[in-house]
Chain A
Amino acid sequence: MANLVISAKNKTVTRVDLTPTQVKAHEDRARDHDIRVANERAKVNEAKLKKAKFLNTLTKDQKDGFEAILKYGIDT
């Protein structure tokens, strides 16, 4: 596994093998990504639940008005 390094001054292109520390950082990054995606997915799911709960409190007219605002903006 290598890092691609481009010199903007000398216009050289080299590939440098990852050091053990960089390999670990690469693996940690994948793990952090999984955690981050899981957290974001949890936030989205939580938002979806809140949205559903909120919509259930509205009458049909209120829902129609809410959807109109989402579609056309509040100033139309």
Chain B
Amino acid sequence: MGTVSLPSFGSDPATVNAANLDGKVDPLATEFNGSIENVNIAAGAAIANSKLNLSSISQAIAMSSKELLFAKGADVASSSSIALGTDGNCFDITGTTTIQTITAKQAGTVVHLHFDGALTLTDDTGNLELQGSDLSVSAEDEVVLKSDGTNWHLVSHSVRKGIFEFVSATAISNDATVAITDLESGYDYLFSFQNLLPQNDGVSLEMRTSTDNGSGYDEAASDYTDGTDVAETSLRLSSATVGNATGEGYSGDVTVFNPGDTTHTHVGGVGIQFATDGTVTAATFQGKRNAAEDVDAVQFFFSAGNLASGNLHVFRRRLS
């Protein structure tokens, strides 16, 4: 009990009766209830959940070296007006129906929403205050909202528009080709090669596009325009002198601009190439697919032999 101070009991009464007993016990109970501290609570003690109500607390809740565990509530189906449960602060929103209103919660409440499908949150029609414009979310997006008791205010939207987000990192090891499939509409893609070494000496890095997710790649005589010609079977990204000795090879960034759009897919970038004689030059390149197509896969390869070694990092940038 350590910190609980015993009160003054006064002199012993001549007779032990209820009144006298109360007079001795009550001050002790009052003192104990008023002075209970952490050290007075047994390590195994549990607070009955039916008694745990923090609504009257008017001071900061402080912790050290512990985490605050939030709960995920039941999924909520999207509709013009939705109500979030009281079973958590994190919710999955299912479906693709536009949302205008979310039933209000106590001012200061913060909720984290994860969207399973693409939909629109409408600004200022119901009680959503989304910084002046409707918010289009995609599947896997995260949105944080804060309630003022009536309206919900947008705190953050996880999608990082305008900057490249990381997709993958892969080590290349004696591969005939490297293909990146499942390219989605509405994104630019950046393919960054590091220390790419060809199997054969004196070759060029090439690229082709696909509209069937890599089942086949366009390779007809006039399918591409690049810095070499307007009628090529592939896009040439380097000169035909990339060396295969240790320390030679190619490093560079290849940007494919919104390949999913049904236009002539443009490609550009810059790299450095170490030639067969050990010299180094800049490899700027530009080109396009000579047809308006929704490209959904690209393929890289050397003009002869395999891609012996190196690394490929893939990034993408959302456009809207």
Contact = CB atoms under 8 A, between A and B. Distances in A.
**Chain B associates with chain A:** yes
B167 A30 contact: no
A40 B204 CA distance: 13
Contacts of B121: none
Given A33-B303, A37-B202, A18 B176 contact: yes
Interface residue range, chain B: 20 to 34
B181 interface: yes
A51 B176 CA distance: 40
Contact of A4 (B167, B177, B184, B304): B177
A50 interface: no
Interface string A4-18: 111111110101001
A8 B168 contact: yes
Given A3-B176, A33-B303, A40 B240 contact: yes
A8 B184 CA distance: 8
A5 B301 contact: no
Contact of A7 (B178, B181, B301, B316): B181
B176 A2 contact: yes
B154 interface: no
Interface residues of A, number: 24
Contacts of B316: 8
Interface in A5-44: 5-11, 13, 15, 18, 22, 26, 29-30, 32-34, 36-37, 40
Contacts of A7: 180-182
A14 to B, nearest CB: 10
A15 B175 contact: yes
Query: Binding site of A, secondary structure by majority: helix, strand, loop or mixed?
Result: mixed
Contacts of B306: 1
B240 A5 contact: no
17 contacts: A1-B174, A3-B176, A4-B172, A4-B177, A6-B181, A8-B183, A8-B184, A8-B189, A13-B168, A13-B170, A15-B175, A18-B176, A29-B303, A30-B303, A30-B305, A37-B202, A40-B240
Interface of B: 167-168, 170, 172, 174-184, 189, 200, 202-204, 214, 240, 301, 303-307, 312, 314, 316
Given A33-B200, A34-B304, 18 more contacts: A2-B175, A3-B179, A4-B170, A4-B172, A4-B175, A4-B177, A5-B179, A6-B168, A6-B179, A6-B181, A7-B180, A8-B181, A9-B181, A10-B182, A13-B170, A30-B304, A33-B240, A36-B303
